[in-house]
Structure 1
Amino acid sequence: MIKQYMDGTLKIKQDELTAVERYRLLAQGKKVDRLPCAVDSGETLAPLIGISVDHFYHSSEKMVEVEEYVYRTFHSDGMGLSTTLRGMAEAMGSEIRYFDNNISQLQKPALSSLDEAETAKKIDVDTDGRLHIILDGLKILKEKYGEEVPVGATVTGPFTVAAMVVGTEKLLMGMVQKPEKVKALMEIIAENNNRYIARLIDMKIGIGFADPVSSTSLLREKQYREFSFPYIKKNVDFIRSQGASAGLHICGKSRKIWEDVLETGISAFSLDNIEDLAEAKEVMGDKVSLSGNIPPVEVLRYGTPEMVLESGRQCIRKAWDSPKGFTLTSGCQTPMGTPIANLTALMDCARIFGRYPIDEELLAEE
């Protein structure tokens, strides 16, 4: 099948449903055309249409242009905008450096020391940082495409925001040396997140969290439970109190905290490619929907369409029957410079191997 795709002789059955229709029918337990599949977009794809990354960050119109391009070109089952890892920290006073051809970087944390934790800024969503630009872009996307495709917003997890407010090294050392200061900062960040989240809920925008600094690649499980878990739970509790739900992505290793992650109350979990989808299905699949986890660098950026199809096929084989649902996507953000042919192959993988009824023999072929 993959050989036929590569030589152009495979006829791919095109989508029969919109993304909104597909997810709605799946939620009702009804038949659909294929598994959901999504291209993880954002600032890294801006250069595909000649937009500088710096311009993307500071223009809601350019953000919308990129999302429109991705949706119209690949027919992804999702679109949306992110605060990016440094967006909330910038609103709290951190200085961010922007580039034309690279993602932003933390230049100067808002706080020079955790001793200043209690003085951390409580944000005004309308005036601080780029938050209002992102909200303007989301409003446009929702109005133009909300009937066709789910529109979502990625919010940075509180612990990751803290790393961008005081610096990662100081935050990690502070858990040992100044734990109460860390917690004081986390309380303010959780409240700031909720102020932004309230706007998203009012707009009926889907919500997901990106929280890479909470990975067990950096934290021990005990540290996660004490310094990260309580504060993202405050965010998820607020979301659920408003009748909405939330997803979560943690970069790197997360297996040791999966049970804790479930206790946050999220309804969807996105896996980094370092983790195993089959194991996630066994541990979490009856409680949350899963998504993932094609390697974004080795396969999506530097691989071939053939490699993307094979990796995606393995993902589908492992998780297509996960009880709460599965969405095929990359294990993290799409890298800058990813070939268009590989993004096309990602979506086509769902059309070939994720076509209903699922052909398990096709998935199992060597």
Structure 2
Amino acid sequence: MIDVKTADRELQTYIRPQTFPVAIRMLRPDEPIPDRARRPARDFKKLSMNCQVIDMARRYGWTLVLTREDSICSLGIAALGFEKPTHLHNSGTLCEGMYTETKEAGQRSETAIDRFKEGEYGALLVAPLDRATFEPDLVCVYANPAQVMRLTQAALWKRGGKLASAFGGRVVCADIIVTTMRTDRPQVILPCSGDRIFGQTQDHEMAFTIPWSQMEEIIEGLRGTHAGGIRYPITQFMEYEAKMPPRYMEANRVWDTEKGKTAYSNRDRVVAAYKRSFADRVPVYPIVASFAGTLDGLSIEEYCTNVPKAITAMLNYYERYQPDVVLAYNDLAKEAEAFGCRVKYSDYVVPSIDEHVLTDDKSRLATLKMPDPYKTARLPGFLEQCEALVKAKPPTAIGAVAVGPWTIAMLIRNPETMLLDTFEAPQFIHDLMRITTDFSKIWGDAIVKTGIGLSFSEPTASISLVSPDNYREFIAPYHKELVEYFKAQKVGVTTHICGTTYPIFEDLLQVGFSTISFDLDQQGDPKLYVDQLERFVQVAKGRAVAIGNVDATRFEKTSKEAMYADVKRCIDTAARHSAFILSTSCEIPPKSDPEIVKWFMDAAHDYGRYERIFD
């Protein structure tokens, strides 16, 4: 027969419990109590309970005895037969309202508890297994679920099948002691509330009981299953490639790029900015529309009206400069033109509106027809451009520049007249904005269906033209409605506003634009000048991606040194914060110098390297 020290050593080898396995013996009324055993009433001057003394044995390493005179828990007293169950037990009263809804249900719970007969035993004796000076009736091992699993496997090593245990969630001392002794079979134990409250059993702990008569069989089962490869600590499969957090993998990719094993695409750099991370350098692009056409030998009007040539010109521009973002962008007049305005083309500057539909007669608002994106004016051609760029699959981010509701409204009405309307006819402005906002949703839906990114340009929402209060009253509510409309479709919206915008940066962020592109401050007094990129970084704190803001007017005439200095200003201001795409303050002029555009891109590629920025 195995001895207690050998049994403990084997359990420690194969199970490694955090607390001592506990030897448990029920003493008959005529059996002597060991002299060295602690008794709660005598030695602690306190009454205790079954789960408490088991816990003291497994944590303190003490040998303890609990008799009726030492006990306080009426459930444990009745379970071990120290007293006969009272009518409160038998009627279900002790369960009702705590463990069961009714007394009847409580009676069934009480009946299910295994109990010794009254007077069958006189005391509960417990000790750490390796220090026990007596032969146990059973051993109780508190363990985690994996350790209990190993003991279950050991119990089935010779017999096979399944181990049967029952759980009631209360009076677990009866399961540990009475059930194990009555069945002479190992038991999986789910500690009850009392054991967890008073016995200090932790949330992660379970228990397993082993009749002493089966200890050798359990030890043999532990050895056999261990030899078969079933072990504790659990042998975990490690021959896999982990899926690391994306940013950890980004660091690996930087190293791979430096070694020439891979390369960042233009789009990768933009995506990194939106993820508030970093690729190899700051993403960069100039805002280009008609310049792509003039670069291909087209007139501005030809670029804006000849869709196939415009598509070819934009793709040729991409091949020449390799920007990280390519735009489907011709001009800012096409939407107002679709409402009936007349467009004026020039050989030198971007198209404009020279005949506004509502200039002289506000009442014509009621007769405006909602443009059809697939039929009206140049709108279908623009959608064709979007589709062509998406189909060409350049390795860039691709976006479309539509005109926002405020600028459409201003071009329909006439900017100067509409500014007067803010004082004289505010309701008219809201009525007009209702129409242009509804159109922007329809127009945006058509653009998004092509698979391209969405931007609404609002050059006339500038604080150089309207006051911050005007923006908040007449523009922001419609911007918010538009942004939330597309956000519901999981489409982020970019906006660009010309001129001075820093007084409404927080408003734009509250509206919810995912990306904000801005110009240089246009205040006349140099003493009041604000670096809008610096201010935006301070205000936004990463809530939106910043795009900007190298001076677009430099692209017709400047020095290489001046261009490098302006690029350096932007990168030094914003690049360390990520959520930043280097671009121009506005659309570059149609007649920009191609060499200056190259200087801009070269400066960005050289100075925008993150290894330099964070060196």
> Is the contact between residue 160 and residue 213 of structure 1 (CA under 8 Å) also seen in structure 2?
yes
Which of these residues, 389, 395, 413, is aligned with residue 141 of structure 1? Answer: 389
For 1:348, give the aligned amino acid. Answer: D
Q: Report runs of 4+ in structure 1 exceeding 3 Å deviation.
A: 24-31, 99-102, 358-361
Q: Are 2:582 and 1:328 aligned?
A: yes
Match of residue 171 from structure 1 = 418
Q: Name the CA shift for 1:209/1:262 in 2 (closer, same or farther; >3 Å).
A: same
Q: Are 2:495 and 1:248 aligned?
A: yes
Residues 205-246 of structure 1, C-alpha deviations (whole Å, 9 max, x = no match): 101121111111111111111111112222212111111101
Match of residue 50 from structure 1 = 297
> Is the contact between residue 403 and residue 458 of structure 2 (CA under 8 Å) also seen in structure 1?
yes
Q: Name the CA shift for 1:308/1:91 in 2 (closer, same or farther; >3 Å).
A: same
State the aligned residue count. Answer: 345
Residues 317-360 of structure 1, C-alpha deviations (whole Å, 9 max, x = no match): 0000225x111111111012221121111111221111121336
Residues 125-171 of structure 1, C-alpha deviations (whole Å, 9 max, x = no match): 1111211101001101100125x111111111211111110111111
Which of these residues, 292, 317, 329, is aligned with residue 572 of structure 2? Answer: 317
Q: Distance in 1 between matches of 2:482 and 2:563?
A: 35
Q: Distance in 2 between matches of 1:65 and 1:115?
A: 42
Three-state SS of the structure 2 residue aligned to 1:154 is strand
Q: Name the CA shift for 1:321/1:30 in 2 (closer, same or farther; >3 Å).
A: closer
Match of residue 77 from structure 1 = 324
Structure 2 spans left out of the alignment, 5+ residues:
1-259, 522-530
- Aligned 1:207-226 pairs, distance under 5 A: 207-226=454-473
TM-score, normalising length from structure 1? Answer: 0.89
Which of these residues, 120, 126, 132, is aligned with residue 374 of structure 2? Answer: 126
Match of residue 264 from structure 1 = 511
Structure 1 spans left out of the alignment, 5+ residues:
1-13, 362-366
Match of residue 102 from structure 1 = 349
Which of these residues, 349, 357, 365, is aligned with residue 603 of structure 2? Answer: 349
Q: Distance in 2 between matches of 1:69 and 1:166?
A: 37
Q: Name the CA shift for 1:126/1:31 in 2 (closer, same or farther; >3 Å).
A: closer
Residues 93-146 of structure 1, C-alpha deviations (whole Å, 9 max, x = no match): 111122344322212112232233233221111111211101001101100125
Q: Name the CA shift for 1:48/1:304 in 2 (closer, same or farther; >3 Å).
A: same
Match of residue 283 from structure 1 = 539
> Is the contact between residue 468 and residue 503 of structure 2 (CA under 8 Å) also seen in structure 1?
yes
Three-state SS of the structure 1 residue aligned to 2:612 is coil
Q: Distance in 1 between matches of 2:460 and 2:559?
A: 30
Q: Distance in 2 between matches of 1:28 and 1:94?
A: 40
> Is the contact between residue 274 and residue 545 of structure 2 (CA under 8 Å) also seen in structure 1?
no
Which of these residues, 375, 384, 399, is aligned with residue 152 of structure 1? Answer: 399
The alignment yields a C-alpha RMSD, in angstroms, of: 1.9
| Range with greater deviation from structure 2 (77-86 or 256-265) | 77-86
For 2:368, give the aligned amino acid. Answer: A
- Aligned 1:17-36 pairs, distance under 5 A: 17-27=264-274, 32-36=279-283
Q: Name the CA shift for 1:58/1:113 in 2 (closer, same or farther; >3 Å).
A: same
Three-state SS of the structure 2 residue aligned to 1:84 is coil
For 1:52, give the aligned amino acid. Answer: S
Residues 290-324 of structure 1, C-alpha deviations (whole Å, 9 max, x = no match): 11111111x3322122211111011100000225x
> Is the contact between residue 483 and residue 512 of structure 2 (CA under 8 Å) also seen in structure 1?
yes
Q: Distance in 2 between matches of 1:29 and 1:103?
A: 34
> Is the contact between residue 245 and residue 267 of structure 1 (CA under 8 Å) also seen in structure 2?
yes
Q: Distance in 1 between matches of 2:351 and 2:591?
A: 16
For 1:350, give the aligned amino acid. Answer: A
For 1:346, give the aligned amino acid. Answer: F
For 1:290, give the aligned amino acid. Answer: A
Three-state SS of the structure 2 residue aligned to 1:207 is strand
Which of these residues, 535, 551, 559, is aligned with residue 304 of structure 1? Answer: 559
Three-state SS of the structure 2 residue aligned to 1:38 is coil
Could you say which structure has the larger radius of gyration? 2
Three-state SS of the structure 1 residue aligned to 2:270 is helix
Q: Are 2:591 and 1:337 aligned?
A: yes
Q: Distance in 1 between matches of 2:329 and 2:366?
A: 27
Q: Distance in 1 between matches of 2:501 and 2:575?
A: 21
> Is the contact between residue 281 and residue 605 of structure 2 (CA under 8 Å) also seen in structure 1?
yes
For 2:327, give the aligned amino acid. Answer: G
Return the structure number with greater relative CO, CA threshold 8 A, min gap 6. 1
> Is the contact between residue 400 and residue 455 of structure 2 (CA under 8 Å) also seen in structure 1?
yes
